């Protein structure tokens, strides 16, 4: 479907964001406030309760950056300085989350406010070679994976990927199909809050009569496709992992990404909830499933060789504008990059 003329596209973007983004997340509250098994047409698959036992847990390494249980910008900066020279020959490519380029008007390097603005500003000011992948975040995983292949064909040298949420699914599919040569160019991958095993919130959103059809119309108007919502469901992701298990295991063993998950242990005491995913945060918490309000911890880390779980952050806390962020995003990104590049074995 052709994109609408530019003068109408902005209004469609704004209108779609106003209608679709809050609607998607608020539906997470359906299960908590209204949903019962008899009311649901399909099964909503919930992960096992509790936190997983991790292989490759990076908690102790991350602990080196903490002072009185808080992330210390000074300690992070000292450690990051040791691996900073590696970025002279590495391009950082961000693959953003579903609807990020619609929900937030400011999504580019150097902007002062918007999605991941603090991180983008730091990279711009530090002179680190970085770009945001030119993908249509509302499009399907398969389409964006093909787009990433085109982007990599134009990029020379080594790359460090940073993905958020659905961006992690897009990149995994690209890497699964990529040549050995292109995979060897990936110096590191930081996968933040990726729903590798799907999201129960997406399950609910696709279960409400009429919503998938409405979402499809809006997503097409925004340049994407309704199937991008289905891509986030538990059934779709678990089927994908099962059908491609050996290839995915190979990608994970070769790239060794660091996967970050977060959760809120006491939602009723959380100081900075995101209004539209707070009902979902409560819903999953009541079922005993630690989550960030959209992605369960297990979904984000269980397939990964290196993982880090942080408590006290919802799904937008890591990428929200700095004025409302619950953590020093720049310090966190420097810490994750340090963990990803600290070992000599990571050199390729």
| Cβ count within 10 A of residue 56 | 13
Q: Is residue 160 part of a domain?
A: yes
Domain extent at residue 111: 60-343
Q: Is residue 78 part of a domain?
A: yes
* Distance (Å, whole) CA 338 – CA 335: 5
Q: What is the pLDDT of residue 42?
A: 54
Q: Are 92 and 128 in contact (CB under 8 A)?
A: yes
**For residue 297, is it left (φ>0), alpha (ψ between -120 and 50) or beta?**
alpha
Question: Which one has a higher pLDDT value, 276 or 267?
Answer: 267
Per this entry, what is the length of the chain? 348
Q: Is residue 241 part of a domain?
A: yes
Q: 3-state DSSP: the chain helix, strand, coil percent, rounded to 5?
A: 50, 10, 35
Q: Are 194 and 169 in contact (CB under 8 A)?
A: yes
Q: Average pLDDT of 164-181?
A: 96
- Mean of the per-residue pLDDT values for the chain? 81
20: pLDDT strictly greater than 50: no
Q: Is residue 53 part of a domain?
A: no
| Cβ count within 10 A of residue 214 | 14
Residue 81's nearest CA partner among 126, 130, 129, 131 is: 126
High-pLDDT (> 90) share of the chain, %: 52
| Structure tokens that stand for 212 in this block | 């998938």
Q: Is residue 176 part of a domain?
A: yes
High-pLDDT (> 70) share of the chain, %: 73
Q: Is residue 164 part of a domain?
A: yes
* Distance (Å, whole) CA 163 – CA 318: 12
R_g of the chain computed on alpha carbons? 19
* Distance (Å, whole) CA 150 – CA 68: 45
Q: Are 298 and 52 in contact (CB under 8 A)?
A: yes
Q: What is the pLDDT of residue 279?
A: 85
Q: Is residue 26 part of a domain?
A: no
| Structure tokens that stand for 102 in this block | 């619609």
In total, how many domains does the chain have? 1
CATH number for the domain including 123?
3.40.50.1820
| Structure tokens that stand for 337 in this block | 């990059």
Residue with tokens 């499009």: 139
| Structure tokens that stand for 260 in this block | 């970050």
Q: Average pLDDT of 228-232?
A: 81
Q: Is residue 316 part of a domain?
A: yes
């Amino acid at each position: 479907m052709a994109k609408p003329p530019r003068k109408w596209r902005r209004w469609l973007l704004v209108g779609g964001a106003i209608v679709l983004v809050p609607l998607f997340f608020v539906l997470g509250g359906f299960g908590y406030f209204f949903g019962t098994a008899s009311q649901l047409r399909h099964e909503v698959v919930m992960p096992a309760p509790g936190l997983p036992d991790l292989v490759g847990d990076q908690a102790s390494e991350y602990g080196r950056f903490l002072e009185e249980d808080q992330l210390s910008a000074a300690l992070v900066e000292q450690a990051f300085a040791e691996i900073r020279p590696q970025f002279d020959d590495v391009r950082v490519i961000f693959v953003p989350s579903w609807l990020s380029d619609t929900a937030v008007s400011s999504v580019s390097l150097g902007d002062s406010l918007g999605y991941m603005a603090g991180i983008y500003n730091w990279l711009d000011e530090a002179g680190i070679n970085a770009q945001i992948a030119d993908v249509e975040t509302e499009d399907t995983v398969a389409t964006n994976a093909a787009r990433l292949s085109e982007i990599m064909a134009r990029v020379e040298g080594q790359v460090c990927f940073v993905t958020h949420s659905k961006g992690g699914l897009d990149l995994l599919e690209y890497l699964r199909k990529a040549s050995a040569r292109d995979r060897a160019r990936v110096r590191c991958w930081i996968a933040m809050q990726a729903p590798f095993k799907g999201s129960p919130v997406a399950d609910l959103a696709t279960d409400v009569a009429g919503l998938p059809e409405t979402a499809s119309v809006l997503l097409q108007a925004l340049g994407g496709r309704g199937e991008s919502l289905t891509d986030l469901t538990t059934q779709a992701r678990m089927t994908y992992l099962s059908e491609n298990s050996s290839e995915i295991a190979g990608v994970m063993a070769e790239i060794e990404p660091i996967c970050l998950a977060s959760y809120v242990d006491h939602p009723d005491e959380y100081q900075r909830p995101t209004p539209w995913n707070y009902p979902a945060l409560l819903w999953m918490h009541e079922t005993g499933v630690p989550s960030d309000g959209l992605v369960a911890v297990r979904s984000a880390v269980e397939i990964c060789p290196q993982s880090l779980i942080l408590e006290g952050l919802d799904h937008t806390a890591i990428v929200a504008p700095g004025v409302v962020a619950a953590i020093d995003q720049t310090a966190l990104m420097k810490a994750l990059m340090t963990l990803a590049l600290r070992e000599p074995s990571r050199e390729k």
